[in-house]
Amino acid sequence: MTRWRRAATALPLANALLLAACSPMNPYFDPAKPHHTPQGFRNNYTAAVDKPLGDLLRWRWEAMRQGLPRPAQVPTATVAPDLRFLGSNAAAGRAMRPAITWIGHATMLVQASGLNVLTDPVFSERASPVQFAGPRRAQPPGVALADLPPIDVVVISHNHYDHLDRDSVLALNRRAGGATLFLVPLGLKPWMAALGVTHVQELDWWQQYSHRGVEFHFTPVQHWSARSLNDRLQTLWGGWAVFGPDFHWYFSGDTGYSQDFNDTRRHFAARQPGGFDLALLAVGAYEPRWFMKDQHINPAEAVQIHKDLGARRSVGVHWGTFNLTDEPLDQPPRDLAAARQAQGVPDADFFLLKIGETRQLPPREPGR
């Protein structure tokens, strides 16, 4: 082989090696799992939903030109939290009454089956890597972090800044002396360990972890992950299906509409033919649709997911707190009302809470 031919043959190999060296490798990669890739993770039913820089710039330019988002005409309603009930319910142990308290955005306190569980806790002033810039809260947290009952479990859906807040994680871990269990998507345990948070379990889709008699299952949704420009899709994202003796509930995190919700219902059909007692579903951050559709559901799609899951009741989250997209903060309640009417879902079956409000819910009937 001539020197020229050897060089020509070696060039593609060198390029491949260079690309491999530049591409981060997925230490969790399992070729038997379709949502795994050598570089990270992907969705079940569509290609990557994170948009290229050109689309992002186009969206931001159009929003700026049109003056979007417009200010809310009606501020998100708030109430003083019922701290006495939260404390007494937490102290009741297995006699705890199922109850939810909306703290804001995707953060909900769920009290059920003897556990106090927080979803995607964000108590900081901004949903941002820094606290001097980025989306700012329109309303303070419905319950101050210091006023929470002891938190047994925190579930994290994915690593975007409005769902995974460093300061909140550190404060919760410090407040509990490391006793709070953090359940996180695959790939996030090293991030937690770097903060000194060690009571952590990370899960892949369809894996489950039991804590004090309650099962936490990590389920597929359609979204993506990143905290910087060079870590896209390197950690997993998903929803949580939680099964206690007296209450079954579901938390969507962020998601676009997909077949994953019908899959989730079928996956758990044998154990709960009556469906979830409650689903926490995102209803905000959905405009413009050309940019958001694959990654964020709108209220009409949330109502469809309520039906796909077979949930007895659903509550809307991920709205009214941070201005993240083009719709005003008070638009989701109007769009949800229209979607309920269009799809024949009673108001009581898919409701909203005021920030700080607690809603008690009936326990699961035996045998259902």
User: Residue 5 — pLDDT band, cuts 50, 70, 90?
Assistant: very low
Is the pLDDT assigned to residue 309 strictly greater than 70? yes
Alpha helices in the chain (DSSP H): 3-22, 53-66, 83-91, 166-175, 189-194, 260-267, 289-292, 299-309, 331-343
Rounded mean pLDDT of 331-340? 98
Per-residue pLDDT tens for 8-24?
333 343 443 333 444 56
User: Residue 368 — pLDDT band, cuts 50, 70, 90?
Assistant: low
- How far out from the chain centre does Cα 348 lie? 23
Structure tokens at 82: 């019922």
Higher-pLDDT residue of 28 and 9 is 28
User: Residue 1 — pLDDT band, cuts 50, 70, 90?
Assistant: very low
**Spatial separation of the C-alpha atoms in residues 152 and 118, rounded to whole Å:** 8
User: Residue 29 — pLDDT band, cuts 50, 70, 90?
Assistant: very high
Per-residue pLDDT tens for 64-95?
999 999 999 999 999 999 999 999 999 999 99
The per-residue pLDDT of the chain, averaged, comes to: 92
Q: What percent of the chain has pLDDT over 70?
A: 92
- Least confident among 6-15, 315-324, 332-341, 355-364: 6-15
**Spatial separation of the C-alpha atoms in residues 192 and 360, rounded to whole Å:** 32
DSSP code per residue over 130-186: SSSSS-BBSS--SS-GGGSPPP-EEE----STTT--HHHHHHHHHHTTT-SEEEEET
Is the pLDDT assigned to residue 6 strictly greater than 80? no
Rounded mean pLDDT of 17-35? 74
pLDDT for the residue 51: 86
DSSP 36: E
Per-residue pLDDT tens for 232-272?
999 999 999 999 999 999 999 999 999 999 999 999 998 77
Domains located in the chain, CATH noted: 83-360 (3.60.15.10)
pLDDT for the residue 9: 36
Grouping H, G, I as helix, E, B as strand and the rest as coil, residue 327 is: coil
Q: Side chain identity at 179, as an amino acid letter?
A: A
pLDDT for the residue 192: 98
Per-residue pLDDT tens for 146-187?
999 999 999 999 999 999 999 999 999 999 999 999 999 999
Higher-pLDDT residue of 316 and 4 is 316
Per-residue pLDDT tens for 106-155?
999 999 999 999 999 999 999 999 988 899 999 999 999 999 999 999 99
pLDDT for the residue 292: 96
